[in-house]
Structure 1
Amino acid sequence: MNQPRMLAGHGWPFDAERPREDHGLFGPDSPTWRVWTNPTALIAFLRSIVVESFDPFLTAAVDDSDGVRYDLRGRLDSTLTYFTIVAIGDSRAAIESSELLTKVHARATGIEPISGRRYSANNPDSQLWIHITGWQSNLYCYERYGPGPLSTEDEERYWADCVTAAELQTCDPAKVPRSRADVRDYYADTRKRLCMSERAAGLIRHFLHPPRQKGEPLFWPATRALTVATVATIPRWMRRLGGFDQPAALDAIALPAGRAVVRAATPLKWRLAMVDHIAPSVRPVWQQALAGPPPLRDEVLSPVRARELYGHQGARAERSAG
């Protein structure tokens, strides 16, 4: 199996020159495509990584790796690109990215200092927390700053897609929420194991108030603008516990301002221009799916079938059969 080409200067593989095999796991008519390619996805991503930091095991895995401190933009860029590929990339890119992520996470193990228990980035509960905060944040920010709520039918399909996407991670399928009510129950149940520490607070400050990036003059002001809109979407108890609350007046300003910016950035050329300054590796994924030539096959694949075709195990089986 050919390996995907690394994007120059960034950390996630995606070969924009390789033809799309198919429409991926969901397809262009899915609510997942609409939600994950809206400009609100950038706000949602920042929201999700802030909320995720309340899990002490995830915080330990991120903090011990040190990559966020030394290359914040690169780490954010890589993470958002992975989720975007799963949402709208073709099935081959989705499987390749999934296998690479699992391999990268296999090296992220250690001891969580608060509990003294061992952590692993591939732990199914940690992966589920990341997965749900990402998918819920995207829908919430789409509703708040974008076009508004999905129809009942589309929302049901969105959460079904969320379950499908979880198959690419190490999540326990039986634990994946299947509706908005399930997500609320999941958050209520998970809250008892969340906490705030100096490490977590430090990471959140780094996410919300990143240092200026040499050679990237627009990254700092772009993320500062995102911060106000992001904080306005996070529960007040989290803001106070994490020490990143903001005045109610800023919350009030964030809503109309955020909606105006999202409307202005909705045309594809402006979406691509905006993402260039925040997560540039997302650009070729969006561009290929939304403006590229049609895929080689007009079909949507299940994760099981995609893995059979493009996963390491599937590729070896095909070579053996040949």
Structure 2
Amino acid sequence: MVSLPAGVSDLRARLGAGVFEKVAGAEGPQRRVRIHEAPGPRWFGEDRPIRAVHGDASMFVGGLRALLLQSLHPLAMAGVAGHSGYRGDPWGRLARTSYFLASTTFGPEAEARATIERIRSVHAAVRGTAPDGRPYSASDPHLLEWVHLAEIDSFLRAHSRYGTAPLDQEGRDGYVADTARIARELGVPDPPETEADLAARLEGFRPELEGTPEARSTARFLLLNPPLPLVARAPYALLAAAAVALLPRWARPPLHLPYLPLVEQTAVRAAGGLVTRGIRWVMAPPAR
């Protein structure tokens, strides 16, 4: 392996540390040790597809797509708007989400179970009334299923487009089956276990989805007004464009998002690959 010049290596380390701090929060280094270095059995072996997907830089694109897609369910959106604090503390929410994914995917079983219990406790307190008058609860198995479906579909599609080594059909089915283990722990009674079942479940939710004012406001915040310094706005714009391009065509009009197939298949795809490779480079561990 060719060593990087000292200046480049230092820049890479600083950029990587900055990205990691944004994603993992102030407790990130301690949590990383607890997740990756603590002894004990894991839910998933090192050869499982979930590790390949959740450990890849394509998750940055998939995570943003998941948030946009999830916002289309009015009751899920009401819970986010009323309880998550995503506008006041977006980085805190991102750190909590990344910790959940890391601990359940890579952490010891005890860490994964503790994380699940904390989330279920939080969900129990998230309830209210949506703007259309319907009650919602974050513990509702139906809403939990929607959030799960939108997440894993987004992560899988982003990995298939931008991942280091996209999975074959067996691997994609294996990924959906792996994530079903976590979904059951969270309270989803019958999660999908194949890619085909995942697609059918998503299609089944379409009559419930709509572009509410809250959903469109969330999309504007996520895509146009992220709380980032100017220097980070350009790469984030590429990330956002890549996430939008991965949304299904039917999801665009409700969020007032364009559908530009030629541009998305050329310029946006190239830009998404560029920014994903850049994230992968700065986040890579230093050569020993």
Query: Do the two structures share a fold, i.e. TM-score over 0.5?
Result: yes
The match for 1:151 is 168
The match for 2:270 is 256
Tell me: CA distance 1:219–1:168, structure 2 relative to 1, closer, same or farther (3 Å): farther
Tell me: CA distance 1:180–1:9, structure 2 relative to 1, closer, same or farther (3 Å): closer
Contact 1:86 1:94 in 2 (8 A): yes
Distance in 2 of aligned mates of 1:13 and 1:107: 29
1:192 pairs, out of 199, 207, 225, with 207
The match for 2:70 is 52
Contact 1:212 1:219 in 2 (8 A): no
Matches within 5 A, 1:164-175: 164-172=181-189, 174=190
Distance in 1 of aligned mates of 2:24 and 2:278: 29
Distance in 2 of aligned mates of 1:11 and 1:75: 13
2:283 pairs, out of 253, 267, 271, with 271
- The amino acid across from 2:72 in the alignment is F
The match for 1:108 is 126
Distance in 2 of aligned mates of 1:147 and 1:198: 37
Distance in 1 of aligned mates of 2:59 and 2:187: 23
Contact 2:84 2:93 in 1 (8 A): no
Matches within 5 A, 1:76-87: 76-87=94-105
Tell me: CA distance 1:113–1:75, structure 2 relative to 1, closer, same or farther (3 Å): same
DSSP 3-state at the match of 1:110? strand
Distance in 2 of aligned mates of 1:181 and 1:51: 19
The match for 1:15 is 31
Tell me: CA distance 1:258–1:28, structure 2 relative to 1, closer, same or farther (3 Å): same
Contact 1:228 1:250 in 2 (8 A): no
Offset at residue 51 of structure 1 (A): 0.1
The match for 2:257 is 244
The match for 1:162 is 179
Contact 1:40 1:141 in 2 (8 A): yes
Tell me: CA distance 1:14–1:123, structure 2 relative to 1, closer, same or farther (3 Å): farther
Contact 2:81 2:214 in 1 (8 A): yes
- The amino acid across from 2:144 in the alignment is Q
Offset at residue 185 of structure 1 (A): 1.0
Distance in 2 of aligned mates of 1:11 and 1:123: 30
Tell me: CA distance 1:232–1:52, structure 2 relative to 1, closer, same or farther (3 Å): same
What is the CA deviation profile of residues 161-180 of structure 1, one whole-angstrom value per residue up to 9, with x for unaligned ones? 021111221111x2x11111
Distance in 2 of aligned mates of 1:13 and 1:259: 28
Offset at residue 104 of structure 1 (A): 1.4
Offset at residue 40 of structure 1 (A): 0.2
What is the CA deviation profile of residues 2-28 of structure 1, one whole-angstrom value per residue up to 9, with x for unaligned ones? xxxxx9965889634444233521121
Distance in 2 of aligned mates of 1:123 and 1:11: 30
DSSP 3-state at the match of 1:15? helix
Matches within 5 A, 1:1-322: 10=26, 15-18=31-34, 19-22=37-40, 24-65=42-83, 67-114=85-132, 116-147=133-164, 149-172=166-189, 174=190, 176-213=191-228, 218-245=231-258, 247-248=260-261, 250-251=263-264, 252-267=266-281, 270-271=282-283
Distance in 1 of aligned mates of 2:26 and 2:141: 27
Offset at residue 45 of structure 1 (A): 0.5
* Gap runs ≥5 in structure 1: 1-6, 273-286, 292-322
DSSP 3-state at the match of 1:68? coil
Distance in 1 of aligned mates of 2:206 and 2:42: 34
RMSD: 2.6
Distance in 1 of aligned mates of 2:170 and 2:84: 42
Offset at residue 130 of structure 1 (A): 1.2
Tell me: CA distance 1:219–1:125, structure 2 relative to 1, closer, same or farther (3 Å): farther
Tell me: CA distance 1:217–1:94, structure 2 relative to 1, closer, same or farther (3 Å): farther
Contact 1:23 1:88 in 2 (8 A): no
Contact 2:66 2:150 in 1 (8 A): yes
DSSP 3-state at the match of 2:136? strand
Bigger proportion of residues as helix: 2
DSSP 3-state at the match of 2:202? helix
Aligned length: 261
Contact 1:112 1:118 in 2 (8 A): yes
The match for 1:277 is none
What is the CA deviation profile of residues 268-308 of structure 1, one whole-angstrom value per residue up to 9, with x for unaligned ones? xx225xxxxxxxxxxxxxx8xxx9xxxxxxxxxxxxxxxxx
